[in-house]
Amino acid sequence: MDSALGTRPGAGRVTIGDVARVAGVSIPTVSKVINQRDGVAPATMLRVQQVVEDLGYETSLVARSLRSSRTGVVGILVPEFEPFSTELLRGISRAATGTGYELLAYAGLMTGADRPGWERRSLSRLSGTLIDGAIVVTPTTALSSSSIPVVAIDPHTGPEGHATVDADNEAGAVQAVEHLLALGHTRIAHLQGRADLASAQLRAAGYRSALTAAGIPVDECLLRDGGYQEDQSAAVARELLTLDDRPTAVFAANDSSAIGVLRAAAEVGLRVPEDLSVVGFDDVPQASTTTPPLTTVSQPLAELGSHAVQMLLTMLRGEPTTDHVRLPTTLRVRASTGPAQRPAPGR
């Protein structure tokens, strides 16, 4: 009754063996037909194709990739699917359409302890060889010698070794802080991003240099770690906003953090932008759905993605590529920032 073994075709997956049996030929012959290799009699070929059709046979990506090295699929490795990586995905998808490659986005969904190093793990698991090349999003480590071409987006430590694509994080941060300064803010806090990412360090550096350039000393109390995450940022922001000498503006390292700040402000009873100005970074689509809509530094996310595919495809073709692409950022002023009202409360 429950003989779901390979005995009967029709039970479970159809394999090349099933096709061969039904067509009355050997497995290699079927293989040849499928892969358009010549050396098969026209009649046999037709018959086999018919059977393939009837049985609805498809070659197993798994089995094939174990044997031959080329699979025609590009891997995109992400820690999880959140707005940042999904926007990248859109750009990648658009740019890859029509190239003959398929896309395989893989999220290890690591949490806690084994989170760092996820990219090496995933890469290792897939590269032997489910995928011909990979785009790794926000790798936390150097992912040194990989057996396949790899392009990193927003990597660990800037352009070192492998091919990378990123935005001008430092300049973007400067834009954000200068905007706040122009509005009259002087107590500007910064919620830092993930310390293991170059982007976070560069944004912090931009924050510092803009402040310094304006002759404002950096108050280390106003620097906190939001880890690029909404919840963590909300918690940290709550502390920051209940300080005696609270900041009148916050530059968050990314939009998720900024959304966390917005939440914290509401909880603490601060109005945005009247009492508090908030600037984010990334310009993910949901940045404009917040109340109020978020002023943020816009990265061309989809373009970053499409540049990455193009680089990867070039590498896959064996042609030389530029190692590094850096795209500009632009400040997008929406409604979460306004003029500083009073010097500082409770003083």
Q: Draw the binding track, 5-44, toward a copy of itself (x: CB under 8 A; -: no contact).
A: -------xxxx-----------------------------
Specify the residue, 31 or 93, whose C-beta has the smaller distance to DNA.
Answer: 31
d(CA 253, CA 230): 11
Residue 248, SS3 per DSSP: coil
Pick out residues in 259-298 that bind a copy of itself (CB under 8 A).
284-286, 288-289, 293
Specify the residue, 121 or 343, whose C-beta has the smaller distance to a copy of itself.
Answer: 121
Residue 93 CB neighbours (<10 A): 16
Q: Draw the binding track, 187-226, toward a copy of itself (x: CB under 8 A; -: no contact).
A: ----------------------------------------
Specify the residue, 30 or 315, whose C-beta has the smaller distance to DNA.
Answer: 30
Q: Based on the number of CB atoms within 10 Å of its own CB, is 179 exposed (0-12), middle (13-18) or buried (19 or more)?
A: buried
Please count the CA atoms within 13 angstroms of the CA of 3 that sit on its side-chain side. Answer: 6
Q: What's the CA angle centered on 90, arms 141 and 330, to 5 degrees?
A: 75
| CA–CA distances in Å: residue 225 to residues 137, 220, 230, 243, 250 | 21, 12, 11, 16, 12
d(CA 281, CA 237): 16
- The answer to the question of residue 159 lying near a copy of itself (CB under 8 A) is no
Q: Draw the binding track, 271-300, toward DNA (x: CB under 7 A; -: no contact).
A: ------------------------------
Specify the residue, 34 or 223, whose C-beta has the smaller distance to DNA.
Answer: 34
Q: Based on the number of CB atoms within 10 Å of its own CB, is 109 exposed (0-12), middle (13-18) or buried (19 or more)?
A: exposed
Q: Which amino acid is at 107?
A: A
- The answer to the question of residue 338 lying near a copy of itself (CB under 8 A) is no
With CB under 7 A, what is the number of residues at the site for DNA?
31
The window from 29-37, 104-112, 207-215, 266-274 that contacts a copy of itself (CB under 8 A) reads 104-112
Q: Which residues of 120-145 are buried (b: 16+ CB within 10 A; e: fewer)?
A: bebbeebbebbbbbbbbbbbbeebee
Answer for which of 4, 10, 42, 319 binds DNA (CB under 7 A) is 42
- The answer to the question of residue 124 lying near a copy of itself (CB under 8 A) is yes
Closest CB 120 distance from a copy of itself, rounded Å: 7
Looking up tokens 């037909």 gives: 33
229: its two tokens: 């995450």
Closest CB 210 distance from DNA, rounded Å: 49
Specify the residue, 100 or 112, whose C-beta has the smaller distance to DNA.
Answer: 100
Pick out residues in 93-132 that bind DNA (CB under 7 A).
128
DSSP 13-71: ---HHHHHHHHTS-HHHHHHHHTT-S-S-HHHHHHHHHHHHHHT----HHHHHHHSS--
- The answer to the question of residue 83 lying near a copy of itself (CB under 8 A) is yes
d(CA 234, CA 240): 10
Closest CB 22 distance from a copy of itself, rounded Å: 16
Specify the residue, 6 or 285, whose C-beta has the smaller distance to DNA.
Answer: 6
Binding site for a copy of itself (CB under 8 A): 12-15, 56-63, 65-66, 80-83, 86-87, 89-90, 92-93, 96-98, 101-109, 111, 120-121, 124-130, 147, 284-286, 288-289, 293
